[in-house]
Structure 1
Amino acid sequence: MRLLFVFGIFILSFSINAQSVNGVVNAEDGKPLMDVMIRNLNSKSHAHTDINGKFILEGVHTEDSLQVSKQGYITQKIKVVNFDFISISLDEKPFLLEEVKITNSLKYLNTISKIDLEIQPISNSQDLMRKVPGLFIGQHAGGGKAEQIFLRGFDCDHGTDINVSVDGMPVNMVSHAHGQGYADLHFVIPETVDKIDFDKGSYFADKGDFTTAGYIGFSTKNALDNSSVSFELGQFNSYRTVALFNLLNKENQSAYFAGEYMMTDGYFDAPQNFNRINLFAKYSARINNNDKIAISLSHFTSQWDASGQIPDRAVNSGMISHFGAIDSNEGGNTGRTNFNLQYDSKIDEYSQIKNTAYLSKYDFELYSNFTFFLNDPVNGDQIKQKENRTIIGFQSEYDRKLNEKWVFKLGAGLRNDNNKDIELSHTLNRKTVLEYLSLGNINQSNLFAYTSFDFTSGKWLINAGLRLDYFKFGYEDQLLPVYSNQTQSKSIVSPKLNFLYTQDNTLQYFLKIGKGFHSNDTRVVVAQKGQKILPETYGADLGINWKPFPRMIINSAIWYLYLAQEFVYVGDEAVVEPSGKTERKGFDFGFRYQLTNWLFWNTDYTYTHARSIDEPKGNNYLPLAPLNTLTNGISVKDLKGFSGSLRTRFLGDRPANEDNSVVAKGYCITDFSVNYQIKKVSIGMNIDNIFNTKWKETQFLTESRLANEADPVEEIHFTAGTPFSARLILKYSW
């Protein structure tokens, strides 16, 4: 009995001596560092800094050793002498892959994006999307239209199955004039991007509409390291200039302005006459050392001409060249103005609230001709798609660390789209409206709430989440003789469950399971009276993150995704079509290796088997679904002032129709870049398609009729990919 009493006193005194350590981690310039790991080398417990650089580590004793580490900074070790507030400053250092650790984070793929951004800085707007392994894009409307997106066996069109956001503000457009989920990222200046948060599948409760194949969240910089001006001059009368001005750079405040102007005639026979202007300003501040605010304003405008998609037969017959046009009057203009407010408030050491509010004004006008003279042998089949919308919304999230094992999140938000005079019309030479095919006003609201719990026990992390989305759809058809405002509402519940087992800082296994969805166009909803208009997906990922060697990272996964039957609105024809149940399964593999302090190698490969469930075997292919994709590259960073890369991307052959009797041919393109830094001046060159390969960037199986044809023909129509194209870049920083 006496022995038990003594033992109890010993345990009690030990637990009393174990306390918590509070502190903050800053960079050399005094700016707080987020996601720094503070690890107790004695107890093996750890914590991460929050948005203000602050942390709390529990179960600490005097004389314990703490390791403070973050990618790109020199690791520090400190000994706990007392339990006073600790202030730590980390110095930057050259990037080394061996310092990247595998941690028990559900979003470990963000580590991959950090590596890629560090090694291969973004040089153009298309690179923004290509940073997602396995994601391919294609431009088929003169450079001003949002890119077509391919991911995980989805032809995502322009964003239907991938959720895209910038600083918490949605990019996808619901009930868009051209296509559901249309995601135009051209309003983002690439040089302002700081982080890319992405994942594949629908496994996170805070991601809602369009999160079927995955999501991408871009974060812009809160502050600039320096001011700079750059000039680019390239072939095909291409010119681009970017200016970044550091307006305010204090310990608790920062502000900067960024501007971009771009113009080009493009590589097509008919000049694109493309030009784009981007303006962006951002102010960030810490308030009372606890709260953080960021306000940004941006404006974007663009206009262009396009050669459109051309039929194989016109090229093969010599009627036009590979870069020619049937209707060179295609093109359009678009613009977007954004106000974004982010306010993060720290309630206490264990909880915080993150808020985002935004307002966007958007306009879009696009002229296309996919079928030439199929429907109108006299005037041609040119169509106009036009809209003017206002988007307003907010999202708030409460995060609470309940104890060492449990973390709780609760979020809610609202998005409203008010789309005026959304139009599809038959036009002539972009001047005359021959017939209105669709014209109306759309008002669509999405109210949502979500919650999730993280449970950590030893090497396990279990995350469970639940999301509720409520939609209200309203459509006023202006082509009807009397006023008619049709409305429908619909709700969907999406559960999530994720398991993570981190054996050590070199090996991790994960299983992710979740239900997701994408909404459909309001015009489908009212036509179908709310039936089968929020198709759900059910998916699972089973994979591994592994560091077999200090300078090598491998990530791979096998996955499955089911998509329910739905009805979709065809924006080019103003008709509603059924789309049956589908399933996709595949394999993803990623490889990052640092060969020397300055030489890096990265590879990403994906395989996808995509099929329709309801159709008989042999007639169940999903048109344009990618089968094999591969990206491979060698990069040089900071070799006596030199940086650069040689990168190849491969998209394999894929079916163009349901029985695979028509094939969309794949391509293999290699790009090259080099840059040399001399103090404040850098000079570089980017070369697209260095081997001048002839390829088709986008392809569609389309029925069309040329002016001299009596009968229509169904065959591949394509937009040519860029030939050899070089750009010279000069940059000055101060």
Structure 2
Amino acid sequence: MNNIDFITLTIPRLTVLAALLAWYLPALGAGMPTLEVIEVKAGSRDLIGVADAASVGTITARQLENRPLLRPAEALEAVPGLIVTQHAGDGKANQYFLRGFNLDHGTDFAVDIDGMPVNLPTHGHGHGYLDLNFLIPELVERIQYQKGPYSAADGDFSSAGAAHIGYRRSLPQDYVSFGMGSNGYRRLLTAADKEVAGGGRWLGALEVFHNDGPWDVPEHYQRLNGVLRYSDGTRNNGQSFSFMAYDGDWTSTDQVARRAVEQGLVGRFGSLDATTGGTTRRLSASGQWARLEGEVQTRANAYLVDYRLNLFSNFTYATDAVNGDQFEQADRRRYGGFGWSRSQPVRWLGRQGDFTWGVQGRLDDISNVGLYKTQARQRLATVRSDSVNQGSLGLYGQWSAQWNDWLRSVAGLRHDRYRFKVDSSLSQNSGNTSDGITSPKLSLIFGPFANHEFYYNWGQGFHSNDARGATISVDPANPASAMQRVPALVKSRGQELGWRAAPAPGWNMSLALWRLDLDSELLFVGDAGTTEPSRPSHRQGIEWSNYWTPREWLTLDADIALSRARFRDADSAGDRIPGAVERTASLGVAVHDQGPWRGGLRLRYLGPRALIEDNSVRSASSLMLNLNLGYKLAPKQQLTLEVLNLLNRKASDIDYYYESQLRGEASPVADVHSHPAEPRVWRLTFIQGF
């Protein structure tokens, strides 16, 4: 039996359970004092009295400082149940797993930094591409996250969840850090801030990075990364302007067919194409403005990004016996947008509450999103080359009301409108289309009752599809073959029952039973340049998260997530969703400022997954133990040691099952293709403060 077959989260059952809670909890709470609304402080996840769901939270800089990180995006693993891996070179966007999803490179999980969205629609490598390699973890002040489609303020890509990353406005001290480690790891980071006349502050940071990795073909990943930021006032009553620049270049070792390793053609860290890899660049300017006037909070933001990527991959090796199967995916775009919202007290239906409404707009001007046949990074032929103009406008409103001492509600409504214009190298695939979608939301919060709070959440969301799939008529690789268009916008529906408790001082616990239905899975075939219509799906699961600070200097956290993912329609191929994660867990211990010492130890588990619809081929699980240990040499000098994969376990970061053809094989062969997790890695960093 599946580990959560006992969970039957149908809409009627959840509705009945919510009604029972509404009837039962007033009696439970009789005579119990209502908790005061609290402020979430550094190092705390205590959201009782202020949270709208069990699966929301705030991660602070203090929680991140002792987390060992192999890659920048792994800062998101502080979100309970989220796993970050890689299936190719480290300059490429990561692989994300959450709530029964293999999110590929970011689809259905939305991320922004200071209000600037990072996910890229209609991208050369995959719709919703989420590249966080320009993130500087030391600058992160907080990460606010929520899971499920329950927030009216979150639109595209947020059906599984969203994370809002906020950078610091000031630093505890100016510093420079020098890092070195195994496999050619080198990192220089310097950051400083300065107060100027009028009370504003300038903050600047520069990162220079190099790493070869354990690969037989050295990765030579180099990145140059910079941030310049001006801020004045606070997040709720002030403004900030940020300029960011990132440039990356790398050689990639893509996933390798298992039979190639077993036959001794390559080693575990070997490559079947030594010229894959890529280059990418990102320049951005963004600003945020906020005013708090009495009880009225107004916010606005705007951003402009220039982005480019050239990515060379080879996943099937040699079905073309002459030139090989390498291909290039190119993306050139500028995108910009804005957001505005206002929240204020409103009395309605005889109840006092808060009403928030807002508007969000975005325009992606993609001069070229292309797919090319290549050999050793030299273009041989164009499969397709398109220019795309894609715009969206979202309007939303949300009303939060306190009905009595034990019941409050949040009701929201969002409407999004999209417009797509595609000019393709194949005229048959050019076209214009538009679509709109309305997404209602509802949350009921019962309590607090003696440090307990209960939640029922229901909501509809959506994800967009690649614009090229919404206008396609013929297969770019075979123009004589007709293609079926995909809907521009696909609806999702989610529900959740949650419980949050504070069983003891410093201990915050949450439990969530959830379900999510999609009208269609997103399936972009990057090496063919097509978006294929896929099957409707159903996911459900349970998550249990704990965060405990038994002492001021000691923090413990533990998260377990179980999920079940199935296609909803009947198909002889089977009902499993390939790559859908079934079990994840993490356990962490952090020690803060014990004399000159500090540190963190983290255990991360990624469970097995079906790799094919009939479940006949499955991936193995992986278990990683990582260490971060810091020692203060002097008041402004610190030495930090990180050891990743401390137990040196042999595991895969990702597994796929598909057909490929090695040199010498007469025809393609179905096989498991894996990208190994890196073996034990050590990194030593010296920090000098000023």
Tell me the TM-score normalised to structure 2 length: 0.89
Q: 1:104 is paired with a residue of what secondary structure?
A: coil
Structure-1 separation of matches of 2:111 and 2:369: 22
Are positions 1:320 and 2:266 aligned together?
yes
Q: 2:542 is paired with a residue of what secondary structure?
A: strand
- The code of the aligned residue for 2:307 comes to Y
Shift in Å, 1:569:
3.6
Shift in Å, 1:530:
7.1
Residue 522 of structure 1 is matched in structure 2 by 467
- Range that drifts further, 178-187 or 597-606: 597-606
Q: 2:444 is paired with a residue of what secondary structure?
A: strand
Q: What residue ranges of structure 1 are gaps of 5+ in the alignment?
A: 1-42, 49-68, 73-94
Structure-2 separation of matches of 1:118 and 1:313: 40
Residue 60 of structure 2 is matched in structure 1 by 114
Residue 443 of structure 2 is matched in structure 1 by 498
After TM superposition, list the pairs within 5 Å mapping 1:390-405 onto structure 2.
Answer: 390-402=334-346, 405=352
Structure-2 separation of matches of 1:251 and 1:499: 44
After TM superposition, list the pairs within 5 Å mapping 1:37-436 onto structure 2.
Answer: 71=41, 100=46, 102-106=48-52, 111=57, 113-114=59-60, 117=63, 120=66, 124-248=71-195, 252-286=199-233, 291-346=237-292, 348-374=293-319, 376-402=320-346, 405-431=352-378, 433-436=379-382
- Range that drifts further, 162-171 or 568-577: 568-577
Q: Deviations over 1:662-698 (max 9, x none)?
A: 1111111111110012311111100000111111111
- Range that drifts further, 596-605 or 255-264: 596-605
Structure-2 separation of matches of 1:442 and 1:291: 38
Is 1:104–1:502's contact at 8 Å kept on the other side of the alignment? Answer: no
Shift in Å, 1:143:
0.4
Q: 1:408 is paired with a residue of what secondary structure?
A: strand
Query: Which protein has the larger Cα radius of gyration, Structure 1 or Structure 2?
Result: 1
Q: Deviations over 1:449-482 (max 9, x none)?
A: 00010001323220000000000001001244x9
CA change 1:635–1:605 in 2 (3 A) is same
Structure-1 separation of matches of 2:432 and 2:659: 35
Structure-2 separation of matches of 1:245 and 1:551: 33
CA change 1:395–1:422 in 2 (3 A) is same
Shift in Å, 1:111:
4.5
Residue 603 of structure 2 is matched in structure 1 by 648
Q: 2:59 is paired with a residue of what secondary structure?
A: helix
Residue 716 of structure 1 is matched in structure 2 by 672
- The code of the aligned residue for 1:393 comes to G
Residue 51 of structure 1 is matched in structure 2 by none
- The code of the aligned residue for 1:454 comes to S
Q: Deviations over 1:426-455 (max 9, x none)?
A: 111102x22211101000001110001000
- Range that drifts further, 404-413 or 714-723: 404-413
Q: 1:313 is paired with a residue of what secondary structure?
A: helix
Structure-1 separation of matches of 2:430 and 2:264: 51
Are positions 1:565 and 2:520 aligned together?
yes
Are positions 1:507 and 2:477 aligned together?
no
Structure-1 separation of matches of 2:97 and 2:606: 10
Is 2:107–2:127's contact at 8 Å kept on the other side of the alignment? Answer: yes
CA change 1:332–1:109 in 2 (3 A) is same
Is 1:534–1:566's contact at 8 Å kept on the other side of the alignment? Answer: no
Q: 2:533 is paired with a residue of what secondary structure?
A: strand
Shift in Å, 1:574:
1.6
Q: 1:127 is paired with a residue of what secondary structure?
A: helix
- Range that drifts further, 493-502 or 547-556: 547-556
Shift in Å, 1:110:
5.4
Residue 648 of structure 2 is matched in structure 1 by 692
RMSD value over aligned CA atoms?
Answer: 2.3
CA change 1:367–1:627 in 2 (3 A) is same
Is 1:244–1:259's contact at 8 Å kept on the other side of the alignment? Answer: yes
Is 1:260–1:278's contact at 8 Å kept on the other side of the alignment? Answer: yes
Structure-1 separation of matches of 2:382 and 2:501: 57
Structure-2 separation of matches of 1:533 and 1:462: 32
CA change 1:388–1:200 in 2 (3 A) is same
Structure-2 separation of matches of 1:46 and 1:631: 31
Q: 1:511 is paired with a residue of what secondary structure?
A: strand
1:614 paired residue among 548, 560, 569:
569
Structure-2 separation of matches of 1:606 and 1:612: 20
Q: 1:579 is paired with a residue of what secondary structure?
A: coil
Is 1:222–1:284's contact at 8 Å kept on the other side of the alignment? Answer: yes
Q: Give me the identity figure in percent.
A: 31
Is 1:104–1:501's contact at 8 Å kept on the other side of the alignment? Answer: no
Shift in Å, 1:399:
1.1
After TM superposition, list the pairs within 5 Å mapping 1:435-446 onto structure 2.
Answer: 435-446=381-392
Q: 2:60 is paired with a residue of what secondary structure?
A: helix
Tell me the TM-score normalised to structure 1 length: 0.84
Shift in Å, 1:617:
8.5
Residue 706 of structure 1 is matched in structure 2 by 662
Shift in Å, 1:352:
2.8
Shift in Å, 1:226:
1.4
Shift in Å, 1:131:
1.4
Q: Deviations over 1:579-626 (max 9, x none)?
A: 111100000011122343323221110000100111358811110101
Q: Deviations over 1:52-102 (max 9, x none)?
A: xxxxxxxxxxxxxxxxx6635xxxxxxxxxxxxxxxxxxxxxx6x6x9462
Structure-1 separation of matches of 2:196 and 2:453: 40
Structure-1 separation of matches of 2:618 and 2:649: 19
Q: 2:663 is paired with a residue of what secondary structure?
A: coil
Are positions 1:679 and 2:635 aligned together?
yes
Q: What residue ranges of structure 2 are gaps of 5+ in the alignment?
A: 1-32, 474-483
- The code of the aligned residue for 2:472 comes to A
Deviation above 4 Å: which 4+ runs of structure 1? 43-48, 107-112, 121-124, 528-531
Is 2:276–2:314's contact at 8 Å kept on the other side of the alignment? Answer: yes
1:666 paired residue among 593, 608, 621:
621
Structure-1 separation of matches of 2:541 and 2:199: 47
Is 2:37–2:49's contact at 8 Å kept on the other side of the alignment? Answer: no
After TM superposition, list the pairs within 5 Å mapping 1:524-603 onto structure 2.
Answer: 524-527=469-472, 532-565=487-520, 568-603=523-558
CA change 1:218–1:705 in 2 (3 A) is same
Shift in Å, 1:566:
6.0
Q: 1:325 is paired with a residue of what secondary structure?
A: coil
Structure-1 separation of matches of 2:584 and 2:162: 19
Is 2:49–2:448's contact at 8 Å kept on the other side of the alignment? Answer: no
CA change 1:591–1:350 in 2 (3 A) is closer
- Range that drifts further, 610-619 or 545-554: 610-619
Shift in Å, 1:328:
1.3
Is 2:469–2:486's contact at 8 Å kept on the other side of the alignment? Answer: no
Is 1:705–1:712's contact at 8 Å kept on the other side of the alignment? Answer: yes
Structure-2 separation of matches of 1:112 and 1:559: 20
Structure-2 separation of matches of 1:296 and 1:305: 30
Is 1:101–1:506's contact at 8 Å kept on the other side of the alignment? Answer: no
- Range that drifts further, 598-607 or 258-267: 598-607
Structure-2 separation of matches of 1:545 and 1:153: 22
Structure-2 separation of matches of 1:141 and 1:249: 44
Structure-2 separation of matches of 1:350 and 1:601: 36
- The code of the aligned residue for 1:344 comes to A
CA change 1:530–1:292 in 2 (3 A) is farther
Residue 5 of structure 2 is matched in structure 1 by none
Is 1:363–1:388's contact at 8 Å kept on the other side of the alignment? Answer: yes
Residue 59 of structure 1 is matched in structure 2 by none
Q: 2:469 is paired with a residue of what secondary structure?
A: helix
Is 1:350–1:402's contact at 8 Å kept on the other side of the alignment? Answer: no
Shift in Å, 1:645:
1.4
